[in-house]
Amino acid sequence: MNILVLNCGSSSLKFQVIETDLDLIEKNSERQKAKGIIERIGGQALITLESDRGEKQKLASPLRDHRSAIDYLLRWMVSPEAKLPGIQSLADIHAVGHRVVHGAEKFTRSVVISDEVIRGIEDCIELAPLHNPANLKGIRAAQELLGLGVPQVAVFDTAFHSTMPETSYLYAIPYQLYRRHKVRRYGFHGTSHRYVAYRYRQIVGKKKEEVNIITLHLGNGCSACAIKAGESIDTSMGLTPLEGLVMGTRGGDLDPSIIEFLAHKEGMTLPEIDTMLNKQSGLLGLSGLTNDMRDLLAEEQENQDRRAKLAIDIFCTRVRKYIGAYLAELGGAEAIVFTGGIGENSPAIRKRILNGLTWFGISLDDQKNQATIGKEQIISDAPSKIAVHVIPTDEELLIARDTVRSVKNAPRRW
Ligand code: ADP
């Protein structure tokens, strides 16, 4: 089956076309036929399209909304210039898998989209006011353009964490607020944590129940996950993706009193504070320079920039804290897995995060760590009590797989 995977943001759309099926999943031999991104939807959009022959096209076109963007994409996919193998017409697109950010307590696994599911995703909008509406726009546009005969599947960022116990997901605020408004930790990046945990299991040849690990998704957004017997028992993001680790522009954990304090001192409104915490904090806020870890590392090295170094140190210390907390919570773990743009590509950051943990018996093989950029590799040395792996994430592949399994009503293996 040719699956179109869509990840719709408020003004962007990432996509992949993946050929997969139950037997291809079994053989781990799916084929990515195309991928790309459309940015700045609503104005003069920037379009990057790449076929599996590696030809990359960069274009610009006025696209007023998500429907126009998906229409543009579908036209390109079936065009002779794209030359996507096995895709000559829209009938060759067999299903669509959508990344949906918030599934709250309603959706604990991927589901085929029906009117009822759409209503359910709408009900979650107040928990993800920026993300779920964009996801819904993508779903509605794909339904309109491809017709209701093409099944669509929703894959939720929160679903993998639905196994968390109350002791992890409840905040210590009056219980009735959970009852009344479902204020609790949900966690995000679930598809990524689930994918790397699944790959880890394949790499080491273990059953799901035998997997006790910590997964670290370090990208522009960052989160840690404690996985026990193959299931998420805790994660660092909370009601929204703002909690936990230091991220590109999000501050992560902080004393909630800061909000009232700033409202008084700076005369900021609540929406202004929310924007500051989501968009102007984290690596960007600390360094005053950038949210991009590559640039920060360069500033630190080439210009000895003090605040760049400080931002990186705080970033690494926070990850280390979570590793310690999760090791305690799990009662020990056999491995730590790095993924995401920073986790996959930055030996320097991996080393700085784990440096202070040698006393505990976590030690890196420096050569392997240095040589591992964007590929699967064990980077701990032989004496390390806890193995350290780098596993590039592939959320789109997991979305495509869930789409096939949901459409065919096949059991999910992980
Ligand atoms: P997103 O969370 O938006 O999907 P990514 O997972 O692509 O983002 O991660 C983006 C982050 O990864 C950026 O901070 C970028 O600087 C960082 N990154 C990518 N490559 C490297 C590298 N070689 N060294 C350090 N950081 C890197």
pLDDT in tens, 119-165: 999 999 988 888 899 999 999 999 999 999 999 999 999 999 999 99
Residue of 23, 65, 92, 157 with catalytic role: 157
d(CA 368, CA 388): 11
The pLDDT of residue 52 is above 90: no
Buried b (16+ CB within 10 A) or exposed e, 153-172: bbbbbbbbbbbbeeebbeee
Burial zone of 104 (CB within 10 Å; 0-12 exposed, 13-18 middle, 19+ buried): buried
Residue type at 288 in one-letter notation: G
CA of 342 to the centre of ligand 1 (A): 5
For a substitution probing ligand 1, which of 293, 350, 352 has the most ligand atoms within 8 Å of its CB? 293
Identify the weakest region by mean pLDDT among 23-27, 100-104, 235-239: 23-27
For a substitution probing ligand 1, which of 345, 349, 353, 373 has the most ligand atoms within 8 Å of its CB? 345
CA of 375 to the centre of ligand 1 (A): 14
Ligand 1 is surrounded, with C-beta below 6 A, by 219-221, 248, 292-294, 297, 340-342, 345-346
E-state strands within 113-173: 152-156
d(CA 405, CA 111): 10
115 is catalytic: no
Q: pLDDT at position 232, please?
A: 98
Q: pLDDT at position 129, please?
A: 86
Whose C-alpha lies nearest to ligand 1, atom 12?
341
Does residue 347 come out as left (phi exceeding 0), alpha (psi in the -120 to 50 range) or beta? alpha
CA of 39 to the centre of ligand 1 (A): 18
Mean pLDDT of 182-211: 96
Whose C-alpha lies nearest to ligand 1, atom 3?
220
Query: Which helix (H) or strand (E) is 218 found in, with range?
Result: strand 213-218
d(CA 254, CA 216): 20
Q: Please give the structure tokens belonging to residue 364.
A: 């890196």
Q: pLDDT at position 413, please?
A: 60
Sign of CA dihedral 386, 390, 394, 397: negative
pTM confidence score: 0.95
